[in-house]
Structure 1
C-alpha cells in the first residue's frame, strides 16, 4: 500500500513534513515524494527508493533543501510516482493518494476515447494519481469532483490535494485506508499512520470518517463533506501492514497483536518449550501467547535489519525471497531439540515461510514446529490495495488447486473451520509446509481483537465478501 501526509503550519512546514513522510516508509519501497506550497507556487520532488532510504535521498537533494512553504504533502508510494502537480479547472494542485483502482484501464480507455490525454504512462499503464486527477476535474467543484471519482472507481482511494489555498484531505469512500487528523501549536497534520507525528509533538484530534473530506486552510480545519455510514477498514493493517505504534479508529496495533496472541493461546493445546514470533510483526503475537499460556518467549530467528527492508513489500518475488533468505539468522543453541510455537502474522504466499524460515529451524535441529498465523487463510486477492493480484499468489489457493487439479470457484466449505473439507485442507498444508501442526486464527477472534466490530472491517481477502452502499 502507500502512506500519505499533509501538513499546514504557521511557519515553514518542511521539517515536520519530511519526518512524518519518512515514518510511512514501512508501507512502500518504490517511490517517495514531497510537494510544498508557499502560497504562490507549488514545488515537488520525487525519488526512487529502490536502492536508498527516503531520508538519504531527500537530505542530499539541493532542490528539496531549497523548497520552503507553510503547506505541503508527502507520500511513500508502493507503485506510482507521486505526488503529481496537475492543472485542473479549479487551479493547480499537487495530488497524492493511497489505494488501488481495479478498473483503471477501463476508465483510462474511456477517457482517452473522449480526447483526454495522459502523460504519465509507465510501462504502458496509467498512473493512478493522474487518472484520479482527470476524474476529479469532471466535477463542478473540488469536493464534487472527489465524490464523482469515488463513484467511478472499483477499489479504494484516500487523497491529499495541495493547492495555493491549502490542503484537501479525503478519506476513501468506505474508509479502507485510514486518515488521522492531529494538531500542535501552530500546525495541523493529516496522515495515514498516527506513528508518523507522535515524535513531532502532534496530538490526535480524530480520525476522518469514510468518505469524509476536510480542508486545512488559514490555520484551521473545515469539514466540507460529512462522512458516510459504512466503514470497511482494512483489517490487514492490524494484522501486518501497520506500524505497531499506530492507532486505527482508536485501537493500537501492538495492543491488537498482543490481544490476538492471547486468544490464540487460549484455543491452543500443544505442549511446547517456547513460543517465538516470526519477524517483527509476529513478536507481539508471541508475547500475547506467552502472557496467556505462561510459556516463555525466545528468539530463535534474529533479524538483521540494518540493510534489509520488509520482505512483504517489494513487488518482485525474487527480491522478497532474497530478503527472506538473508535477513533471518538462526540462534542454533536455542533451537536444537526444542518444541516451539511460531506465531506469524499471516501466510500470504507461503514461499518465505516454507522455503527459508522453516528450513532454517529444521536445519538447526528443531524437534517440533507448530505454526500459528494470526489471521485466517487468505483466499482472495486484495481488490482495494496494491497487494496480491492473482489466485496463484496465495498459499491457500495453491493448496486447493493442488487438491482439485484446478482453481475452484466455490471455496465456502474451506472457510468453515469445522468442516471436513477445511480439516483436509489443513492436513495438506501441514504436509506442504513440513510443520508439526498448523492452526489459523479464526475470523471472529481476529475481528474481536480489533474491538471495532466485524461489520466495520474489510475482510474481503478471507471471505470474498464486499460491502457496498445501495
Structure 2
C-alpha cells in the first residue's frame, strides 16, 4: 500500500483462458483478482473460432465493463489485461490487449514487463517502413512477428521473442490458438492452471483461486506454450538460463494469497520480517505494519522479536489509488486520506513501524509524523527489503537515481529526513534467503534495484529514454 503512495508501481496483469463456454465472465473475474497490478486501463478480447471481439477502456475493471459489454464478448477463449503505464505512458491506444487485423487472420497481444531494447527496435522498424500506432513496447512484438517472413506463426513468434530483451510474461490470442511465453530469465511471474478441462494462464495464482481453477505449474523461462483444440504443446524459444524472478514481486507487488515459483507470498513476507528482526532488533512495546503489503512482514517481525503486533495504522478502503496523482503535493495529501493512526494503540508506546520499501522517503516521513502526533513516544522504522538505490528497467516504475532517497543519503541521513528514532533495512542476503529455499545456479532473484547487478545487459543506446538518469 505504501508503495502506491510514493511512486513504486506495478506494471500489468495478464489473464487468459482457452476452452471454456464462459471465457468472457471468467476473464472478467480473473482481472478483478489482478486489479492490484494495474488500475489505469483494462481490456478483454475473446475468440469464437472465427473472429476476435474486443472491449477495453481506461479505468478499473468495474468502470470498463458492464453486463452488456461482457455478453457481447462471445467465444470459448479469451485474453485479458490490466495496465499500469510505465513504458509508453498512458492513453486509450496503449490499453491492452492490442488487436492487429490482417487479411489472413488476426491476433491480440498482452504482456507484463518491459523491453529494454524497445527504443532501438522501434527505430529499426520505422526505418523499415513500419508505422507504429501506439507508444507501447508491446506493439513492437507484433511488428516483429509479422515482419519475420515465417508462414507458421509459431516460428514467427520464436524469432520475434529471440530479438527482444528484457522482462515479459507474454500472451497472444488468434482465432484458433493461444500462445504464452515467459522471458528467458523468468523475471515476471506467470502460471498455468486448469478449470474443468480448460487451460488458464495468469500473472498470479490468486486469479485461479477466484474462479475455482487448479494450479498446474509455472510457465518456465524461455518456454513457449501453444494451446488449441488439440491441447497443450510446450516448446522453447531460448536456451535455459538461471531464473532471476523479480524480488519485488515477493516484497510488494503480488497479493499475499498468491504462490510464486512454489512459494506463498504471505509466508515469504513473514520470513522476511523474521529475518529483519534478527538483523535489526530494537526494544519496543508494539509492532505495526503499513497496510496492506507490509502486514505479513510486520507479523513475522513481531513473532521473532517477541513484541506484540497491533493494528496501529488503519487504511481507508474508499479512497482511490493515490499514486496516479501527478504532483508530490497530492501524493502527500494521499497519505493523509489513506492512513489513520490508532491513538489508543500507539499513544505512550515505543512503536516499530514495518514497511516494505522506501522510494522517495516523503511517505515514510509523513507516517512517522502521524504516529508521533498520535502519541507514540518512539517510532523505529524497519524496512523488509534493502535500500532501493537503482532504477528498474524491467517494468517497475521506480524513479531515477536523483529521486531515490537511498541513492543520495546513507541510512543515518535517511533516518533524520523521515524523523524516525531508528531506521534499518533488510540485507540483500537476508532477502534472498527469505525467498529462495535453496539458492542455486538454476534459481535466484533479481535484486538489481538494490545492488545494480542487472540480470541482462543494459545498453545506454537501447534503454528507454524515460528511464535514463
Q: TM-score normalised by the shorter chain: which range applies?
A: 0.7 to 0.9
Select between 135-144 and 360-369 the one with higher mean Cα deviation: 135-144
Q: Does 1:444 align with 2:432?
A: no
Are the structure 2 counterparts of residues 145 and 464 from structure 1 closer, same or farther at C-alpha, using a change threshold of 3 Å?
Answer: farther
**Which residues of 2 match residues 119-134 of structure 1 at below 5 A?**
119-120=133-134, 126-134=135-143
Give the 4+ runs in structure 1 shifted more than 4 A.
311-319
Q: Does 1:264 align with 2:249?
A: no
SS in 2 for 1:173: coil
Q: CA deviation at 1:113?
A: 1.6
Task: Please name the residue that 2:163 is paired with.
Answer: 152
Q: Which runs of 5+ in 2 are unaligned?
A: 1-10, 86-93, 458-469
2:413 to 419, 428, 433: 428
Q: CA deviation at 1:323?
A: 2.7
Task: Please name the residue that 2:84 is paired with.
Answer: 78
Task: Please name the residue that 1:412 is paired with.
Answer: none
**Which residues of 2 match residues 349-360 of structure 1 at below 5 A?**
349-354=360-365, 356-360=366-370
**In 1, are the aligned partners of 2:162 and 2:237 still within 8 Å (CA)?**
no
The 2-side partners of 1:32 and 1:25 are apart by 9
Q: Which runs of 5+ in 1 are unaligned?
A: 121-125, 400-424
Aligned residues: 433
Q: Does 1:58 align with 2:62?
A: no
SS in 1 for 2:43: strand
Are the structure 2 counterparts of residues 463 and 324 from structure 1 closer, same or farther at C-alpha, using a change threshold of 3 Å?
Answer: same
Task: Please name the residue that 1:231 is paired with.
Answer: 243
Task: Please name the residue that 1:406 is paired with.
Answer: none
Task: Please name the residue that 2:466 is paired with.
Answer: none
Task: Please name the residue that 1:182 is paired with.
Answer: 193
Task: Please name the residue that 1:166 is paired with.
Answer: 177
Are the structure 2 counterparts of residues 21 and 318 from structure 1 closer, same or farther at C-alpha, using a change threshold of 3 Å?
Answer: farther
The 2-side partners of 1:313 and 1:119 are apart by 24
Q: Deviations over 1:311-354 (max 9, x none)?
A: 55777655543432211012122222210111111112222111
SS in 2 for 1:17: helix
With the length of structure 1 as denominator, give the TM-score of the two structures.
Answer: 0.87
Q: Deviations over 1:357-390 (max 9, x none)?
A: 1111121121111111011101110010141141
Q: Does 1:376 align with 2:386?
A: yes
The 2-side partners of 1:189 and 1:313 are apart by 30
Report 1 or 2 for greater relative contact order, CA contacts < 8 Å, sequence distance ≥ 6.
2
Task: Please name the residue that 2:267 is paired with.
Answer: 255
Task: Please name the residue that 2:127 is paired with.
Answer: 113
Task: Please name the residue that 2:204 is paired with.
Answer: 193
Task: Please name the residue that 1:103 is paired with.
Answer: 117
Task: Please name the residue that 1:408 is paired with.
Answer: none
**In 2, are the aligned partners of 1:27 and 1:313 still within 8 Å (CA)?**
no
> RMSD value over aligned CA atoms?
2.0
Q: CA deviation at 1:12?
A: 3.1
The 2-side partners of 1:119 and 1:201 are apart by 37
**In 2, are the aligned partners of 1:78 and 1:386 still within 8 Å (CA)?**
no
